[in-house]
Each structure stands twice: as C-alpha cells, then as structure tokens.
Structure 1
C-alpha cells in the first residue's frame, strides 16, 4: 500500500529542504528499495508529476520500461561499491519518462546520503538531473563535455597547445614538459612561432594560413608536419605536428598536437647511415672481387693459356717423328685433352672476367653472353643495342654485364622460357637495360623476396650506380626486368648523402 504522501521536502531536515526547494536542478531522493522519498519542485515540473503523486512510488515509473532492469542493477551496484559519489552520464545520457509518456534525455549525477535525521537508518540516494532536451540542459551538457575534453587534453601523452591569434592560450602538462618549462605561465601568451626552430617557422606559418583559410589542411581536417621546436633552454627537439582549426571557436583558434619524435628520427637516421655503410661495403667487396677476377682471368689467359699452347705445339711436333703408331695415338689423345683443357680454361676465364669486355667493349660482351646462353639453354636469345649509347667507364660496363649475366642465369633456373630479348637503350639521360622472356614470370614481390639473391645482386649493383630495378609480368605473359642507371653515376668513393630531416637548415645538436 502506498504511504500517505508528505510534502515534497517533508522527509528532509529544514535546511536541506530549503536548498532542494530552491534548486533549479531537478532532485529526487530514493530509499534502498528505490522508492521515491523526495521530489523537489524542479523535478515535479520535469516529470509533470506532483510530489503527492510520486512520493512512495517506485523510481521505475520515471524510467522507460526497456531501461528499468539495467538501471536497477546499476543503482544496486553503485550502492554496494562504497563509492560516495558518481556521475552516471559522463559518457552518455540516460532516458527519463514523463507522466504523460514522453521520453527525454537527461544527465544524472547520483550520490549516497548517509547520516542524519530521516536518512539515519538504511541507505538513501539523491539524484541530480538535467533535462538535455531543453536549451538550459544542452548548455549544461556542452559545458560538461568541455570539462571532459579539457581533462582528456590535460592528461594526454602528447603535447597540446591552443593558440588564439597565433598566441598560446592553453598548454597541457605534456607541452610544459616538452619545452622544459616550470609552469604553464612560461608558455602562455607567447607566439607559436617563437617556440619553433627558425628553419621550421616558414613551413608552419604557411600551414597555419592554409588551415585558417580552408578550415583544414586538405580535406581531412588536419595538417601534418615534421618540424623542430626549440625548448626554453635552447635545445632542439624533432617533432611531428598535427595542426587543426577549432571550428566552434572562430577563425583564429588553432589546436596543435606535438609529438616528440627525436629518438625515433635519430634511430632512423642511424639505421639509414648503417644501411649506407653496408651498401658501400658491399659495393667495395664487389669491386675487389671484380679486380681479383680480372687478375686471375688475365693470369689464366696469359700464363697458363700460353703454357698449354706451347705444350700443345711440342706434342704436335712429336707426333710426325714417332714411328710407333701406339705412341702417335697416345700423343693424339693428349692433344685432344689439351684442346678440352684450353676450352675449359677459356670458359673459366670468360666466366671470371670476359676479356672481350676489356678489349672490345660492352656491346660485344653482351652479344657473346647471348650466344653462349642460347647454346647452353637451347633457346632463342636476341639482342638490341642502341647506337646512341656513349662510351661507358669500366665500373658501369662491368656492372651492366653482370646484370645481364645474372638475369640470364635466373631465366635458365626459374623461367622455363624459350625466347629471351635483351635491349640496352638511352632514354632521358639514363641507360635502360631490359631483359624480357616468355616464361612463367616473376612471383609477387620477387625483387624483395628472401632468398632471391640473383635479383638482390642486380638491385645492389643498380643502387651502386644510382639506379633502380623493376621487375614485373607484362600482360602478354612472361617476365620483364628493367634496370635504369644514370649516364653519369656517382663516383664510387663518394660518400652517400645523409638522409635529411624534414626541417630545413643546418643540423644542430638536439637534447638527448
């Protein structure tokens, strides 16, 4: 049976009753069984229900049926948690139900009432509600969101500042730490450009103008920059800056999120320098190997080749003088062995270093490679060499020769091709070497695939000349390998240009 309804604040001590009665916010008090024990005038107006009608009734009458079970569990869990106060609408609104059946969104803060007077026995709870469907409620929600936003920004791990007319009006804790300040007062009021490294200011100034003019940096609402900032002690930090306009603060308000990437850029620079050092070492090893190959090939040709030729001549001169046929047959067999040995010697010498590359040039060497591959592989190999290719220095010639040699070896091992075409041309200040076949083509990612040492070697030789390697499978089928190198490649002993950071200007010391 519903108890007799007292006045709206009759259950409260007089001071609390006066406060609740005068409050502009709706206040409802409930007991442990979630029955209403107090409903102030603002709550009566919000729900369209008098205190006399509401007191003693369950709170669920003001909650849509689909939310009642979940709401009851939330209140019970809150009561058992021992937490004295909690906002129930920080992330989302709850839904209320007026006496006329109308639903409305509301922000709710609930607190446990322990203590005195009518609340001395049992547990009681008071709920403060704001109707978000009214203008006042919307203002309340906006202000709550702003407070939440400020809290999130204040404790964000990245530095954040907000600037008004290019002057800093807000900084978070991470921003204070990034610039080495003791407090926000050391940064507030400064020009945003004052805290940038001088070579970075023009780029940021242009980005700010673009953001203020267009409202964003290019359609996604944000401009990203890689620049440098200057701490209060003068040391520099490498940073990534995300710059955006705040649309609800006018056309001069900017938010900049600054990520300190000094360590990452230093590590990236060190890794790039290590890669360049390894590339130079690899290039030098290739050069040393080529020099040794040439020396051995020359000695095989000049020393061993001449001695074998002299031995053959001596044996050939003995054959007519011998009267015994058995001896002549043995001499003939030895001459055949010498012929095979000389042929093997020439083949080994050519594999080590084709003398025709030194004596006749790259064109003749590539044509010899093509004829040799056609003979060994039993396929058709055609060569097209442009007449306009200028004379090349030894380093470029041997590199291109080795690339063709490795490409043909790769085709023999993997392509199952019957036709190969080799072309060397000059295009726009570059030498373009193309090797095409009608085989099975390259697997996806072949150039970077682990174990593709042949293609890796070609790519490293191309990089050493300042060039590039591309492999693909033409629509007509087969595989295509294309190497592009400049006609004037970098000097072999010239140090590689170090990778540059996004900020322009000299590279000063940075803080550790």
Structure 2
C-alpha cells in the first residue's frame, strides 16, 4: 500500500512537471520572441508529451502490477484467516464437547478470588452450588465463610507454588448434600494484568456414596470374619480343649498303675505330646480371637499382644492407659483392636525400632490413640497424603474414617507417630448403617 501511494505521487509530479515545462516553453517563445521552425515546434509539441506520457505509462504499469500482487496477497491472507477461523471454531466445538462430556464446572478466578468466568454444561449442579450467578462475584459470596476460606487457601497456594491443589468439599441444597472434588491450578500469565487460577469442580456425590458403601461392606466383612474367628476359637476351647484336658487327666490316672519300664516311658512321651497339643490349642484360640478382648477390654488385649510380639521379635511394647471413661462397644472394640494390631505389625515389619509406645486417652469430645516408635519413621510425603500407601495403612485409614474419626501419620527425629481420633458420638457414614461404637461420655 505505501508503494501504491508513492507511485501515485510520482505520476502526479510527472504530469505537473510536463504542464509546467510546456507553459515555460510557451512563455519563453511569447515573451522573448523566440522564433521556432515548424520542425522544432513539432518536436517540442509532440516530444515533451510523449516523454511524459511514457513515464506516466511506465509508473502506471508498475503500480498496477503492485496492486495485483497486493490483491493476491490479500486474498491469500483472507483465505488463511478464514481457515484459521474454521479451525478455531472446530476447536471451540471440540472443547465445548469435552466440557459437556466431563460434567464438570470450570471456574476462572483472579488473584483477588473474584470469579471471572464459568464454563459448564451442568447448570443443575451450578444452581445447587451457588444461589447466585458466579461470574463477577467474590468467593465469599459463593460459599459460606468457612468453605470460602478453605477454597481461598487452595487457590492462593496453587498461585504461589504453581502446583495442583486438590480439595473435597460439601455443599447443601434443598436438604441434600452434594460432594465435589475441587482442583486448583494457576494459569500461565501472558503480559501484565492480574494472575488467574482455574478451579475445576467435579461432582463426586455418587462416587462418595460408593466409597462409603465399600467401607461399610469392608467393616461388615471384618466383623463377620471376627465373629467366625470368635466362634472357631470358642469351639476349639470348649470342645477340643476340653477333650484334650480330659484325656490328659485320664492318662495321669493311668500312670499311677504302671510300673517303671517301656510302657511308662511311652506314656510319658504321649503325655508330653498331648501337653504340646493343649498349648498349641490355647495359642490358636488366642491368635484367632483373644478372650482378653471380650473379658477385660481393648487395652488389656493390646497389652497381651505387646507381650507376645516382645517375646517373638525382641521389641519392647509399652501400653499406657489414661482413659477416664468406659466406652467400648463390642463392634468398636473389634475394629479398634484390628487397627492397633495392624499398626503394631507394621512396627515389627518395617520400622526397625527397638521400642514402641501405645497410649490411650480421651478428650472431652472423643478417644485418642497414639502409636510412637523409635524406628526410621514413614516414607517422605506420608503426612501430605501424596505417597503410595501400603494396603495396611489404607485399611487403617478407611476403618478410622468409617468410625467418623481421623488418622494422621507423621515422622520426627526419633521415629514414626500415628495419631487416631474417634469421636464419642458418631455413626457409620452414609447409607444409614447402624453400628455400635464409642458411645460413652467424659466424666472429667
């Protein structure tokens, strides 16, 4: 375009120059009485316009060529723009399809926690989450104070650390609870302006219910297994144990009537083997279901287990009982014994410790159990929940959560620590499952 304007100026300049030249020649002839021959006059009248017109024609052709080239380039650029627009429209359609298929709610917040935009196909979920349209609203206007502070911390942490933050939260609508999983991630910043964070909310209500159903089923299986173990242990103790004890008593009576000899030696050997069988039966009964757990309670059963592990693995187990209330329901007692037993087994297998302390105490709102060893502790990132937990630790975590409690795994300079808290008044989460558990009150 600048070349076309330049050529137009050149054409105008040539035309003006030709007119000025002709006028100058005519003026010189008129004022100075210059006599020109016919031939000279013909050359003057024809030559000058021809030269000027030739220059004009040359510049015009060059200008037309540039116009054609610019027009072609413009058409190519227009075609390329249309192609890019089509590609962009297809990408937008694809992205919209992905958004619709994901069934998520996508928020865009700025660094001041003001919602800039919302993209979702789940209008029903959006209405359940917020009483007002989120766009342009502050975080405090979309959630209650506690929830907005929790989400704000996740957003700002994602902005500062440039790492994905995951949070589960619950909203209520029309008397129903909806569970969502929120993921916060800072968006790349181009140029100046406020930084932005995308918050992806996924509906996990059904998934949460399924998880709770699995927990309930797992607990029921554990209780059923414990009941069967208890039944087998009772049968071993009451039936086989009694039979073996009676046989031993009769052999003792028979021994009085035998004199010294091979018969007496054979009888002594048989009685020794019978004693080993009776001791094995007792061990099996305690392994299957410790009678102490039902007769004396959880703490006594843990003390017995600690003494057993101490003899077998040369690890000192210290049990401290600071409980000031009696709260042990039968099912709760079984589950907590399995949890503590799994923790003690982990100490034996993985900690490399020489000493382990298990403490039971209560607060005004629940029961606390701590397990501390002087071993190597837990792997890195255990406390943050980002490491690959073993099956045993996951089982412990799910069992405690099923009781409405919480469990934390930490490591300090002297070993590993596990803290378990179970509230006094709680019920099995979801599905309206009744389960006896901690149901006492604090007297202090």
CA distances 1:306-355 after superposition (whole Å, capped 9, x unpaired): 11111111111111211242222222222221222222211111111111
Name 1:488's counterpart in structure 2: 425
CA distances 1:189-231 after superposition (whole Å, capped 9, x unpaired): xxxxxxx8488335859936979xxxxx98999xxx9999xxx
CA contact (8 A) 2:318 2:357 kept: yes
CA contact (8 A) 1:424 1:431 kept: yes
How far apart are the structure 1 equivalents of 2:227 and 2:170? 45
Name 2:399's counterpart in structure 1: 461
User: How do residues 306-455 of structure 1 correspond to structure 2 at under 5 angstroms?
Assistant: 306-445=242-381, 450=388, 452-455=390-393
How far apart are the structure 2 equivalents of 1:361 and 1:226? 37
Matching of residue 37 in structure 1 with residue 10 in structure 2: no
CA contact (8 A) 2:317 2:356 kept: yes
User: How do residues 208-357 of structure 1 correspond to structure 2 at under 5 angstroms?
Assistant: 264-265=202-203, 268-357=204-293
Larger relative contact order (CA 8 Å, sep ≥ 6): 2
Structure with more of its chain in helix, by fraction: 2
Name 1:125's counterpart in structure 2: 70
Q: CA RMSD in A?
A: 4.8
Name 1:471's counterpart in structure 2: 409
CA distances 1:445-492 after superposition (whole Å, capped 9, x unpaired): 5577557222222222212211222111123x2111221111233158
How far apart are the structure 2 equivalents of 1:290 and 1:352? 8
CA 1:480 to 1:317, structure 2 compared with 1: closer, same or farther past 3 Å? same
CA distances 1:341-372 after superposition (whole Å, capped 9, x unpaired): 22221111111111111112122212211221
Query: Normalised by the size of structure 2, how large is the TM-score?
Result: 0.57
CA contact (8 A) 2:360 2:367 kept: yes
CA distances 1:19-51 after superposition (whole Å, capped 9, x unpaired): xxxxxxxx5135xxxx953469xxxxxxxxx98
CA 1:450 to 1:344, structure 2 compared with 1: closer, same or farther past 3 Å? farther
Larger Rg: 2
Unaligned runs of 5+ in 2: 15-59, 72-84, 100-105, 107-116, 142-150, 157-168, 173-179, 185-196, 435-444
CA distances 1:169-197 after superposition (whole Å, capped 9, x unpaired): xx99x99x998xxxxxxxxxxxxxxxx84
CA contact (8 A) 2:315 2:348 kept: no
CA deviation after TM superposition for structure 1 residue 412, in Å:
1.2
Name 2:18's counterpart in structure 1: none
CA distances 1:375-408 after superposition (whole Å, capped 9, x unpaired): 2222222110114132310111112212221122
CA contact (8 A) 1:29 1:39 kept: no
CA distances 1:254-305 after superposition (whole Å, capped 9, x unpaired): xxx99997xx52xx33322222222222111111101111111111111111
How far apart are the structure 1 equivalents of 2:321 and 2:302? 9
How far apart are the structure 1 equivalents of 2:261 and 2:410? 63
How far apart are the structure 1 equivalents of 2:275 and 2:409? 41
How far apart are the structure 1 equivalents of 2:170 and 2:296? 52
Matching of residue 207 in structure 1 with residue 177 in structure 2: no
How far apart are the structure 2 equivalents of 1:418 and 1:258? 49
User: How do residues 142-221 of structure 1 correspond to structure 2 at under 5 angstroms?
Assistant: 197=127, 200-201=130-131, 204=134, 207=137
How far apart are the structure 2 equivalents of 1:258 and 1:473? 34
CA contact (8 A) 1:442 1:479 kept: yes
